[in-house]
Structure 1
């Protein structure tokens, strides 16, 4: 089983902060071992919760919590398929994580 670590993010969504605070918050979200495992699974392919639970063996309520944190950070998107909700890595998730690293060029400055 993947263990989670406790990280205080000061109640600010990484998608709504700017500068260094946003980078730190985004990296804190991704650094949790459970959320990292979810991101790895979603990088391979979009999945529903039932498929994610096969690869990240934690109780359903905890998985839902971690998916909520990832959604609020803008790293994961959802789409409804009947009664199922599919989760996918956000199209800009890897770019945003890379840009949050120290020394990485600002992705907005790199764009024409």
Structure 2
């Protein structure tokens, strides 16, 4: 895991279709049919990626009538952004340090 033992959001979003799905869901909740239309991917493919995102806790499903709408859980992205910001701060603070070679 790049950041921690928690959900590896970076690895999840490394897949271009998952990244696109998360970007679309960040704009507004959507059902599978919307995501199929917006991404051009086939329904089974979109459903598979939604399942991966749900299992990781990055996306939640909300029943609404006959449909299920999906939405991003912003707190998961916030935690990842905080960890990346902390890495950047640490890199900035130690950029002049060098380890001695043996």
So what's the TM-score if we normalise by structure 2?
0.73
1:84 to 45, 48, 67: 67
Residue segments in structure 1 that go unaligned for 5+ positions in a row: 1-8, 10-18, 106-112
Q: Which residue of 2 aligns with 1:38?
A: 21
Q: Which runs of 4+ in 1 moved over 6 A?
A: none
Contact 2:62 2:68 in 1 (8 A): yes
Aligned length: 87
Q: Over alpha carbons, which structure has the higher Rg?
A: 2
- 1: CA distance, partners of 2:65 / 2:31: 12
3-state secondary structure, aligned to 2:70: strand
Q: CA shift at 1:82, angstroms? A: 1.6
Backbone CA RMSD of aligned residues: 2.2
SS in 1 for 2:6: helix
Distance of 2:24 and 2:47 partners within structure 1: 15
User: CA 1:35/1:100 → structure 2, altered by over 3 Å: closer, same or farther?
Assistant: farther
